[in-house]
């Protein structure tokens, strides 16, 4: 991509900001004349590929109209969400019209390009904001959705308010051309250790969509609970969902609930990745059906936090019937391309039996038309270019996956695990002594973590939130925000455009937005809020 003029007003925002911060002679006058520049530079997360700032504002008013040339149902849903948010906080009607004929000013136009754009690709977009109008283009509806998230972030934070706010609604004039680095930018929510209601999951999806995340991996089963209705094995939920860590009442998603989550996520261009963890982490299933145990005796339900003690009985054919039924039902409910089989910490299973099991399960997933994802332990099995290995713990496993041409999702525990405590004075989070502050969760790059890994080997990045010690959405928000924003930026923006000093200021500018959104965020002392 050809770069643009490096003057202060026409530069990458990172460079410009650096120059402003250094108060260089050539830029300081412009900076004084342009109070919006610094404000703007502190607003966007993830930082866009290219941004060119100008010196004016577009004012959103009661007369502003939204124009689209081709209002498909997907685009209509994105526009509806945007307009609903704007109406709530600005009180403006924001009429939506479908026409090619634009007025001379006072509009926001959204145009789906008629032919693919090699630069914008599947998820990119371009925004031009002048004093007269906001003009947006993308090659896909996904790109248009992301452009609207950027527009939200460019507006005053009060745009997130649930009630009408009396104020000016100025948007700085600029050009943004933006494309993501990775197309898989994800979060994982463990709804097994503690159950999260449909509304709580929707809330997590809302937070993810503002920062352009693409996939929500739901860890649906574990020792402490089975959270998804399986019609052919009903005791998985009638028994296996009846508790959670600490002995609470647990819960599960009916198949209808699960579809509701999928639809809600889909309307925000987030794909649900279901995980059924096996052969370990299966005590809830073993407590529900005696026949899945080698000794034929059902296990007790488990509400503690140990790991690695449970496993399906790999010597029984009924285990494979069970797994096949579960994969078939969950795959049929899931429109996304991925099916996560877990595969982690099966510590009581003999290595050769583990490999045999993963190989069989891989074929089952494939026969349901899905692509298998597994935690990095699965790299010892027969994985290849069709499979995806989620690197969380062992570099040797990630290396094996690389050697076998499997794609990698990066979730290194010490950089991405949102259940880790922020610091030693905070009690919320994992009980073990690994800490992850907001800076450490931002200041890393996947290319630096694994010998020989190339951009092309990486599907993306995912931040898991395990919930042994996180019991509801408010606590989940505290663990995720702000660290999840750093993960979103690593996954979207180029490494050369990222640096902590600039990022922490942009993060600080999110505070007001968090407050309008009523987010329970962690007030890191590392960030100049
Ligand atoms: C894991 O943290 N057991 C994947």
Question: What is the per-residue pLDDT for 39?
Answer: 59
Query: 27-31, 96-100, 249-253: lowest mean pLDDT where?
Result: 27-31
- What are the pLDDT digits (tens) for 146-202? 999 999 999 999 999 999 999 999 999 999 999 999 999 999 999 999 999 999 999
Question: Which of 25-39, 52-66, 201-215, 474-488 shows the lowest mean pLDDT across its residues?
Answer: 25-39
**% of the chain residues with pLDDT over 90:** 87
What's the CA-to-centroid distance between 31 and ligand 1, angstroms? 48
Of the candidates 214, 236, 209, the one whose C-alpha atom is nearest the C-alpha of residue 225 is 236
- Which range (3-12, 444-453, 472-481) has the least confidence? 3-12
Pairwise CA distance, residues 368 & 384, whole Å: 18
How many CB atoms neighbour CB 2 within 10 A? 3
Task: Give the residue whose CA is nearest to atom 1 of ligand 1.
Answer: 344
Res 111: pLDDT: 93
CB-based burial, 103-125: b 16+ in 10 Å, e otherwise: eeebbbbbbbeeeebeebbebbb
Under the banding of pLDDT at 50, 70 and 90, the label for residue 42 is low
Asked whether the predicted pLDDT for residue 26 surpasses 50, the reply is no
Nearest CA-CA partner of 177 in 358, 344, 47: 47
Is residue 329 part of the annotated active site? The answer reads no
Which two tokens mark 107? 């509009």
Q: Which residue among 394, 466, 469 has the greatest number of ligand 1 atoms within 8 angstroms of its CB, and so is best to mutate?
A: 466
Complete DSSP assignment for 257-325:
HHHHHHHHHHTTT-EEEEEEEESBS-HHHHHH-GGGSTTS-PPPP--S---S--B--TT-HHHHHHHHH
50 beta partners = 177
226: phi then psi, degrees, rounded to nearest 5: -110, 120
* CA dist., res. 306 & res. 308, Å (int): 7
In the structure encoding, which two tokens stand for residue 271, read together?
Answer: 């794909």
48-89: per-residue pLDDT in tens? 999 998 889 999 999 999 999 777 888 889 999 999 999 999
Mean pLDDT of the chain: 92
Residue 391 Cα to ligand 1 midpoint, Å, equals 10
Q: Choosing from 137, 345, 377, 468, which is the catalytic residue?
A: 345
Contacts of 28 (CB under 8 A, 6+ apart): 20
Distance CA 373, CA 411 (A): 13
> Contact at 8 Å (CB) between 232 and 329?
yes
Q: Please name the residue whose Cα sits nearest to atom 2 of ligand 1.
A: 392
**CA of 413, closest atom in ligand 1:** 2
Q: Is the pLDDT of residue 28 over 60?
A: no
Q: Tell whether the model's pLDDT for residue 19 goes beyond 70.
A: no
432, 412 contact by CB (below 8 A):
no
Query: Could you tell me which of 220, 224, 287, 288 has the C-alpha nearest to residue 257?
Result: 220
| Shortest-distance atom of ligand 1 to CA 345 | 3
Residue-level pLDDT at 12: 44
Which residues have CB under 6 Å of ligand 1?
Answer: 344-345, 375, 392
Least confident of 58-72, 272-286, 468-482: 58-72
- Residue 297's CB: how many other CB atoms inside 10 A? 9
pLDDT at 14: 42
- Bridge partners of residue 127, in order along the sequence: 136, 176
Ligand 1: residue of 190, 346, 392 to mutate (most ligand atoms within 8 A of CB) is: 392
Looking up tokens 């099995």, which residue turns up? 381
Residue 10 has pLDDT above 90, yes or no: no
233/236 Cα distance (integer angstroms): 6
Over residues 330-348, the pLDDT tens digits come to 999 999 999 999 999 999 9
Position 118 pLDDT exceeds 90: no
Half-sphere exposure of 219 (CA within 13 A, CB side): 30
Q: Would you say residue 21 has pLDDT above 80? A: no
* Strand residue runs (E) in 223-357: 225-226, 271-278, 338-342
CA atoms of 144 and 125, how far apart (whole Å)? 6
Sign of CA dihedral 391, 393, 395, 399: negative
In this model, does residue 240 exceed pLDDT 80? Answer: yes
CB 32 within 8 A of CB 74: no
Distance from the alpha carbon of residue 47 to the mean position of ligand 1, in angstroms: 30
Position 433 scores a pLDDT of 86
CB 252 within 8 A of CB 227: yes
The alpha carbon of 392 and the centre of ligand 1 are apart by a number of angstroms equal to 7
């Amino acid at each position: 991509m050809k770069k643009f003029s490096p003057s202060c007003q026409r530069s990458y925002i990172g460079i410009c900001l650096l120059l402003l911060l250094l108060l260089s002679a050539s830029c300081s006058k412009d900076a004084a004349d342009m109070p919006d520049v610094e404000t703007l530079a502190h607003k966007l997360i993830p930082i866009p590929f290219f941004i060119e700032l100008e010196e004016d504002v577009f004012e959103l008013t009661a007369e502003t109209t939204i124009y689209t040339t081709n209002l498909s149902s997907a685009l209509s849903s994105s526009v509806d969400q945007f307009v609903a948010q704007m109406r709530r906080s600005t009180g403006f009607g924001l009429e939506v019209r479908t026409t090619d004929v634009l007025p001379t000013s006072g509009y926001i136009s959204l145009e789906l390009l008629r032919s693919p754009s090699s630069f914008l690709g599947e998820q990119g977009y371009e925004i031009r904001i002048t004093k007269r109008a906001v003009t947006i283009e993308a090659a896909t509806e996904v790109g248009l959705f992301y452009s609207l998230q950027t527009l939200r972030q460019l507006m005053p934070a009060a745009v997130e308010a649930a009630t009408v706010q009396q104020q000016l609604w100025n948007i700085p004039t600029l050009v943004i051309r933006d494309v993501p680095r990775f197309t898989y930018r994800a979060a994982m929510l463990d709804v097994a250790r503690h159950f999260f209601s449909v509304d709580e999951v929707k809330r997590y999806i809302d937070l993810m969509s503002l920062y352009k995340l693409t996939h929500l991996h739901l860890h649906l089963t574990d020792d402490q609970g089975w959270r998804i209705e399986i019609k052919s094995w009903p005791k998985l939920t009638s028994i296996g969902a009846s508790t959670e860590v600490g002995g609470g009442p647990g819960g599960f998603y009916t198949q209808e609930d699960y579809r509701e989550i999928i639809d809600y996520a889909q309307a925000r261009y987030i794909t649900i990745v279901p995980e059924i963890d096996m052969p370990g982490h299966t005590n809830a299933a073993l407590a529900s059906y005696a026949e899945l145990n080698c000794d034929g005796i059902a296990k007790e339900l488990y509400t503690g936090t140990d790991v690695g003690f449970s496993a399906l009985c790999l010597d029984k054919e009924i285990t494979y019937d069970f797994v096949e039924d579960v994969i078939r039902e969950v795959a049929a409910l899931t429109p996304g391309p991925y099916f996560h089989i877990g595969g982690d910490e099966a510590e009581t299973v003999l290595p050769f039996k583990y490999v045999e099991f993963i190989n069989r399960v891989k074929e089952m997933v494939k026969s349901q038309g899905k692509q298998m994802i597994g935690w990095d332990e699965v790299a010892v099995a027969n994985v290849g270019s069709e499979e995806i290995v989620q690197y969380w713990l062992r570099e040797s496993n990630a290396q094996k996956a690389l050697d076998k041409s499997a794609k990698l999702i990066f979730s290194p525990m010490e950089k991405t695990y949102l259940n880790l405590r922020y610091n030693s004075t905070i009690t919320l989070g994992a009980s073990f002594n690994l800490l992850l502050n907001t800076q450490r969760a931002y200041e890393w790059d996947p290319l630096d973590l694994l010998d020989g890994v190339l951009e092309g080997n990486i599907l993306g990045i995912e931040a898991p939130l395990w919930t042994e010690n996180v019991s509801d959405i408010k606590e989940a928000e505290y663990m995720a925000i702000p660290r999840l924003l750093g993960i979103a930026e690593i996954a979207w923006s180029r490494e050369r455009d990222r640096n902590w000093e600039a990022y922490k200021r942009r993060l600080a500018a999110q505070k007001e937005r968090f407050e309008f959104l009523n987010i329970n965020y962690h007030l890191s002392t590392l960030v100049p809020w």
